[in-house]
Amino acid sequence: MRQKAVKTIIILTCVLFVAIMLIMPLFTVITYAFRQGFKVFFSAIADEYAVKALKLTLLTTVFTVTVNTVFGLFASWSVTKFQFRGKRILTTLIDIPFAISPVIAGLIFILVFGRIGWAYPLLKAYDVRIVFAAPGIILASIFVTLPFVSRELTTLMQSQGSDEEEAAALFGAKGLTIFRKVTLPHIKWGLLYGVILCSARALGEFGAVSVVSGHLRGKTNTLPLHVEILFNEFHLTAAFAVSSTLVAIALVILVLRNLAEYRLKKEENADVR
Amino acid sequence: MYVELRGINKKFGSFKASDDISFSIDKGKLVGLLGPSGSGKTTILRMIAGLEPPDSGDVIVDGVRVNDAPPGERGVGFVFQNYALFRYMTVFDNIAFGLNVQKRDKKHIKERVQELIELTGLSGMEKRRPHQLSGGQKQRVAFARALAPNPRLLLLDEPFAAIDAKVRKELRAWLKNTISKVGITSVFVTHDQDEAIEVADEIIIINNGRIEQKGSPSEIYKSPTTPFAARFIGQSFAVSNYDALRGFEKDDNFPEAILRPEFITVSKLNALLYPNSTQDGVVENVFFRGNLSELRVDVAGVKISAYRSLEDDEIYVGEKVGALIYQLFLVNDREVKLIRNSLLRDENSVFI
């Protein structure tokens, strides 16, 4: 009886907490966005600057996810399949972005590539702009989302071990064949899961991007930054309208994530059998 | 001399996995590397396969030094302890993998795989995935997969470790037969002496990264040449005050004796075989072992183990019995010496 009461209380607490902390704010965002009707909503999201911000956000996400997927594959491969000195240190280093505040990540790039940075003269000589331009935003996003893919893959590849790769190598299979035929089928759902998490984070990244962006409207504004500007200028409805597009993307990602997770679990269970 | 290892050394950090390992294997032989876990036997296998480079020494296959050849070019088939089947491929694709890598034509691949599926009794399972197979079936797939590209040498790492006891016995006989049918030179690793004795043509006992003894199963069993081999093989147990046993004298060079249950006959007092050489003892424990019972007997303060057939009259705990010890191995740090019971020798009787 008492156990049942405890169970009910715990579940209820969780549900309430989620309702107050997550569902209510999201609901508010969407209702607020439509407060002045569909017309205002659409004009806010079809606004020239909003569209440019969306484009930049998507561009950033594509670059970031591509780079971090490749890096994540290399990192987890080297950490799980090879023995080398400093392996522990490498795995710890990869997790740094999780521990560091994104603002600091942004500042790092200002300090390196900005006007006061040591790389500035070199960049200027070649007329390359990094800070206050798209490259800076992409770099900052890469930094912040670096661990997602490699973390997913490392645990997965660790559980697989290297026997199957060794078996394939004994038959004379080359590295790429081994990866394609043996490793990839095992990690594909985990890889997708990591990619999705990475995209979600890259889409919504604010802190690091805010520092390196310079807030040039129509040039270096990503969607989250655009929302902030609208909000600060008291265009509340527009701010919430643009926010709601981010929410919509997030919901799509959530569905994809669950799908990937489901497939991943299914394959893991198949392994156990 | 088909496979030869010369002065192989291998360290993992400060752990010496192979300590000056040298041995050779004749073509067509089935050789068992036998040793306790952590003795370095799997490392030897992996170095032959090329999965682990030796720190020094040479690996020679068919007269050619293969140290620098990558695993895929050594012509070695390998059966992993947990089989390492490609879990996302069907049985057919698993077996065909090596042939596909070699880019053999489709028709040849199909024929060869079919041939191996028949050899290993896996007909009808071609489309299954590894997780749909039993342990014994997985082992057969691993075996067929290793054999598919016609390797010169087959290596098997603890091939029966992951299989339950009953199937294991059948598979042992099956594997020995199949290997002799195929006629491939094979090396397998095991920690199970029954397995090694039953399956191998020749056994190499490994301990602490060193070779203790190499010989036929019966040589290994009957005449161990190192103290470790004497202790490791059979249901051996060590006795320090062996001079308390009737018919044996203390040899100051040998502080310990190794006995096995089969060196001892325990009889009821009213049915003694050689009363002059038999010594009184008290039964401390009786263990039922299925096809026989094992007795623990205290003889003049020495604890010994002996077997007794279930057909003989039952002996009870606490009963006084006669114990006759035919022989024992005297051991020190380096040597082993077989000593027969001096009283039996005087009587000129026949013994094992």
For residue A247, the model assigns a pLDDT of 87
Report the C-alpha gap between B85 and B90 in whole angstroms.
9
Position A216 scores a pLDDT of 82
Question: Is the Cβ of B273 closer than 8 Å to some Cβ of chain A?
Answer: no
Q: How many domains does chain B have?
A: 2
Q: Is it the case that residue B71 has pLDDT exceeding 60?
A: yes
- Are B332 and B209 within one domain? no
Residues B103 and B214 in one domain: yes
pLDDT exceeds 80 at position B273:
no
User: A170, B78: Cβ pair inside 8 Å?
Assistant: yes
Cβ pair B71:A167 closer than 8 A: no
pTM above threshold 0.90: no
Angstrom distance (rounded) from CA B6 to CA B60: 8
Q: Are B216 and B268 members of one domain?
A: no
**Last residue within a domain, chosen from B205, B225, B245:** B225
Residue B126: the pLDDT is 92
What's the pLDDT tens digit per position in A149-171?
999 999 888 887 788 989 999 99
How far is B102 from chain A, CA to nearest CA, in Å? 8
For B215, half-sphere exposure in the C-beta direction (CA atoms, 13 angstrom radius) is 14
The answer to whether the Cβ–Cβ distance between B149 and A186 falls below 8 Å is no
Instruction: Specify whether B145 is located in the same domain as B172.
Output: yes
Among the partner-chain residues B72, B78, B84, the one whose CB lies closest to the CB of A172 is B72
Out of A167, A168, A171, the one facing B149 most closely (by C-beta) is A171
Q: Where residue B305 sits, what CATH number does that domain have? A: 2.40.50.100
Contact B88 A185 (CB under 8 A): yes
Residue B286 has pLDDT above 60, yes or no: yes
CATH number of the domain within which B195 lies? 3.40.50.300
Question: Measured between CB atoms, which of B70, B86, B98 is closest to A182?
Answer: B86
Q: Summarize the confidence of residues B342-352 as an average pLDDT.
A: 62
Q: Which of A82, A171, A182 to mutate to test the interface with B (most CBs of B within 10 A)?
A: A171
pLDDT number for residue B64: 92
Residue A270 has pLDDT above 70, yes or no: no
- Among candidate residues B181, B202, B225, the one where a domain is terminated: B225
Interface of A with B in 38-97 (CB under 8 A): none
Q: What is the pLDDT of residues B203-232, one digit of tens each?
A: 999 999 999 999 999 999 999 999 999 999
Using CB atoms, which residue from B51, B89, B97 is nearest to A171? B97
Q: Which residues pair with residue B308 across a beta bridge?
A: B293
Residue of A nearest to B72 (CA): A172
Strand B202-207 and strand B30-34: the pairing is parallel
Q: Which of A82, A84, A87, A170 to mutate to test the interface with B (most CBs of B within 10 A)?
A: A170
Answer yes or no: do B84 and A169 touch at CB < 8 A. Answer: no
Contact check, Cβ <8 Å, B131/A270: yes
First to last CA, chain A: 36
Distances (CA, A) of B64 to B1, B11, B29, B60: 11, 24, 19, 5
Higher pLDDT, A119 or B210: B210
CB B105 within 8 A of CB B92: no
pLDDT at B349: 52
Checking if the pLDDT of A136 tops 60, the result is yes
B161 in contact with A, Cβ within 8 Å: no
Partners of A168 on chain B (C-beta within 8 Å) are 86, 97, 101
Share of chain B above pLDDT 70, in %: 97
User: For position B117, what pLDDT does the model report?
Assistant: 94
CATH node for A32-272: 1.10.3720.10
3-state secondary structure of A212: helix
Are B215 and B245 part of one and the same domain?
Answer: no
Contacts of A166 in chain B (CB under 8 A): 51, 71, 78, 80, 84
Mean pLDDT for all residues in chain B = 91
Chain B residue numbers touching A172 (CB-CB < 8 A): 70-73, 98, 101-102
What one-letter code names the amino acid at A244?
S
- pLDDT tops 80 at residue A267: no
CB count in 10 Å sphere of residue A122: 11
On the question of pLDDT at B176 being above 80, the answer is yes
Q: How many CB atoms lie within 10 A of CB A207?
A: 16
pLDDT at B82 over 50: yes
Give me B12's structure tokens: 């993992």
Does B208 share its domain with B298?
Answer: no
pLDDT recorded at residue A273:
44
Give the burial class of A86: count Cβ atoms within 10 A of its Cβ; 0-12 exposed, 13-18 middle, 19 or more buried: exposed
Report the pLDDT value the prediction gives residue A268, as an integer from 0 to 100: 66
B209 with B296, same domain: the answer is: no
pLDDT one-digit tens code per residue, A23-46: 998 888 888 888 888 888 888 888
Contact A164 B78 (CB under 8 A): no
Do B188 and B62 lie in one domain? The reply is yes
Q: Is residue B230 part of a domain?
A: no
Do B218 and B330 lie in one domain? The reply is no
In angstroms, the separation between the Cα of residue B95 and the nearest Cα of chain A is 11
Residue B266 has pLDDT above 60, yes or no: yes
B71 and B26 assigned to the same domain: yes
Alpha helices (H) in A181-235, listed in sequence order: 184-204, 207-213, 223-232
Q: Compute how many other C-beta atoms are within 10 angstroms of the C-beta atom of residue B147.
A: 23
Per-window interface: A 253-272 vs B, CB < 8 A: 270-271
Task: Indicate the domain borders of chain A.
Answer: 32-272
Query: In which domain, by residue range, is B86 found?
Result: 3-225
Q: CA–CA separation, B313 vs A66, rounded Å?
A: 80
Does A184 lie at the interface with B, CB-CB under 8 angstroms? Answer: no
Residue B148 lies in a domain: yes
A169/B97 CB distance under 8 A:
no
Tell me the average pLDDT across A204-223.
88
Tell me: do B161 and B253 sit in the same domain: no
In this predicted structure, the answer to whether residue A271 has a pLDDT above a threshold of 70 is: no
Q: Is residue B293 within 8 Å of B307, Cβ to Cβ?
A: yes
What is the tens place of the pLDDT at every residue in B84-110?
999 889 999 999 999 999 999 999 999
Q: CB–CB of A204/A246 below 8 Å?
A: yes
Residues A37-93: tens digit of each pLDDT: 888 888 888 889 999 999 999 999 999 999 999 999 999 988 988 888 888 899 999
Inspect the interface and report whether the beta carbons of A171 and B82 lie closer than 8 Å: no
**The pLDDT of residue B348:** 53
B283 and B262: one domain?
yes
The helix/strand/coil state of B211 is strand
Contact check, Cβ <8 Å, B131/A271:
yes
Tokens 């500042």 sit on residue: A107
